[in-house]
Structure 1
Amino acid sequence: MDFNDAVLSRHTVKAYEGGRSLPQEQVDKLLNWLHFSPSSVNSQPWHFVVASTPEGREQIAKATTGGFAYNHPKVTDASHVIALCMRADLDEAHLNAVLAQEAIDGRFKDDAARAGQDKSRRGYVDLHRYALRDVPQWMEKQVYLALGGLLLGAGMLGIDATPMEGFDAAALDESLKLRERGLTSVVLVSLGYRSEKDFNAGLPKSRLPKEAVFTHI
């Protein structure tokens, strides 16, 4: 499937066929794409919790009760569910870890290049921390960049997917012990095989006309 076909064919799945698991090879490809998601100044302010077992999906499903119960079966019936999380802060330990990994991966020709990258990244962190005062929102934007890549990747592989903001983030943080790790949940993605109850599969896509969306200058 080429990119345009994936864009036009993918949709948000509303119901999954329980008991079916995705091939591990496809899952590994998706996780690799997530691993190499782009982020501003390579800040990588994220962590991804992958639930591939009934027990793991039940942990996540604890956050889809009450007003979010409509999403419960999308979690329990899927093959895999990924909780895309963000860090509570871009602290010193994380910035140092990113810089050290860049050095290990050979991104610096010398110490001056390493120092320049560190200074540039910290400059953006300080801009968002002190001047714009929007570090959480900035980090969340990076997580949504990863989400977009994940959904398009799933479409390229013909994998059915559902992004979900309809869950209790505090409950999920507690269920997965995220806050003890300096993390908080942002968005969920279910992956698997859609069932015949997926009414959205038969509906045409709908977008505003191009003249309302694009301005050419």
Structure 2
Amino acid sequence: MSIIEKLKWRYATKKFDTTKKLSKNQINTLKQAFNLTALSYGLQTLKLVVVEDKLKREQLVQHSYGQRQVIDSSHLLVICIQKEINDEDVDYHFNIIKEIRQTPDEILDPFKKGLKSTIQSMTKIKKNDWATRQAYIALGNLMTVCAMEHIDSCPMEGFVAEQVDEVLELDKYGLTSVLLFPVGFRAKDDMFASLKKVRKPLSETTIEI
């Protein structure tokens, strides 16, 4: 299948096959893809929580408006953002750059100072909005990788973040949930799998200048 054919193959899976599980290699591929997501400034203020525990996921169904994908999928991926973003995150980021690329401080310091200034100028609300936008970039990346790997998925915004955070004890990690992303394999009787994609004509969604 071509890339376009694989993107046409994917859909927001409504019913997962509860007997099928993703392999450790497949989960690792998704974790690696998440980690390789292109993010603003390269600053990784996101975390991916991989939930396999059925008891935890059963609790999450009620906080996800009864959507069974949360528990019927192979794994539930939860894309989270940090509650706080500060100078320590910038220092850590540039320390990694220095370690991996062996870039001297005299080159890194001006960029580090500039990024700190940018973040310090943001209100808490703006930081949260900024981090949330990064989460959606990660989601798009994961959706594409799932399509390429023939892994079914369902991006979900419909859940009560505060309750999900409580069940998964995300507060102790300084995180809050932004998106749920059940992954697995479609059930044979999921009627949505055979429906044709509904999209505007390409001529109406793209502009060439």
State the TM-score, normalized to the length of structure 2. Answer: 0.91
105 and 20 in structure 1: CA distance in 2 versus 1, 3 angstrom threshold: same
Task: State the one-letter code of the partner of 1:109.
Answer: T
- The residue number in structure 2 matching 1:161 is 153
- The residue number in structure 2 matching 1:41 is 41
Using the alignment, how far apart are the partners of 1:5 and 1:56 within structure 2? Answer: 35
Correspondence 1:17 to 2:17: yes
Q: Residue 25 of structure 1: CA displacement?
A: 1.1
| Corresponding residue SS for 1:63 | helix
- The residue number in structure 1 matching 2:4 is 4
- The residue number in structure 2 matching 1:78 is 73
- The residue number in structure 1 matching 2:83 is 88
Correspondence 1:122 to 2:81: no
- The residue number in structure 1 matching 2:185 is 193
Equivalent residue pairs, number: 209
8 Å contact kept, 1:60–1:75: yes
Q: Residue 62 of structure 1: CA displacement?
A: 4.9
| Corresponding residue SS for 2:63 | coil
26 and 133 in structure 1: CA distance in 2 versus 1, 3 angstrom threshold: closer
Q: Tell me, which stretches of 5 or more residues in structure 1 are unaligned? A: none
Q: Residue 52 of structure 1: CA displacement?
A: 2.0
Correspondence 1:112 to 2:106: yes
Q: Residue 143 of structure 1: CA displacement?
A: 0.7
Using the alignment, how far apart are the partners of 1:103 and 1:113 within structure 2? Answer: 10
- The residue number in structure 1 matching 2:93 is 98
